[in-house]
């Protein structure tokens, strides 16, 4: 039930704690400090509430940094296997990472991943930036 108020701008709005609950339910990894910062930024009339359009703005503003951080983490991990320092890794190393660590993908899934991203070079190495970029934007 939305809060009852005489101020029409508060009707169908959510509080700071409801914002935190909403974002965390959507699987956002966000700290209380970041929630406070978002409230300061988007609660322009300082009511302690944000409305639905503001919530959509928050979701749009917080989605990309999380994605970028995750992408950078993946790229950093793959760079450890970049022995030629040319933003590629051997297909064997890539297969090892995908099949022996984490979720341990089956061979067919790894093959599909490489084919779908068109990240294999002519000499059989995997362009990991291209692969990650394509997978993130699928």
pLDDT at residue 123, rounded to an integer: 92
CATH code: domain 80-136 is: 1.10.238.10
Q: Is 13 helix (H, G, I), strand (E, B) or coil?
A: strand
138 pLDDT tier (thresholds 50, 70, 90) = low
**Average confidence (pLDDT) over 16-30:** 85
68 pLDDT tier (thresholds 50, 70, 90): confident
Q: Average pLDDT for residues 50-65, to the nearest whole number?
A: 77
Same fold, 13-63 and 80-136: yes
Q: 13-63: what fold?
A: Recoverin; domain 1 (1.10.238)
Residue 1 has pLDDT above 50, yes or no: no
Record the pTM. 0.51
């Amino acid at each position: 039930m939305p809060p009852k108020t005489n101020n029409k701008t508060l009707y169908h709005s959510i509080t700071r704690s409801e914002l935190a609950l909403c974002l965390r339910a959507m699987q956002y990894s966000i700290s209380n400090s970041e929630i406070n910062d978002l409230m300061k930024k988007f609660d322009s009339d300082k009511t302690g509430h944000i409305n639905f359009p503001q919530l959509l703005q928050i979701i749009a503003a917080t989605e990309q940094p999380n994605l970028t951080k995750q992408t950078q983490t993946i790229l950093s991990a793959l760079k450890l296997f970049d022995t030629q320092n040319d933003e590629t890794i051997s297909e064997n190393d890539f297969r090892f990472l995908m099949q022996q660590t984490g979720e341990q993908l089956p061979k067919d899934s790894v093959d599909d991943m490489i084919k779908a991203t068109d990240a294999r070079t002519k000499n059989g190495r995997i362009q990991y930036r291209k692969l990650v970029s394509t997978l993130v934007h699928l």
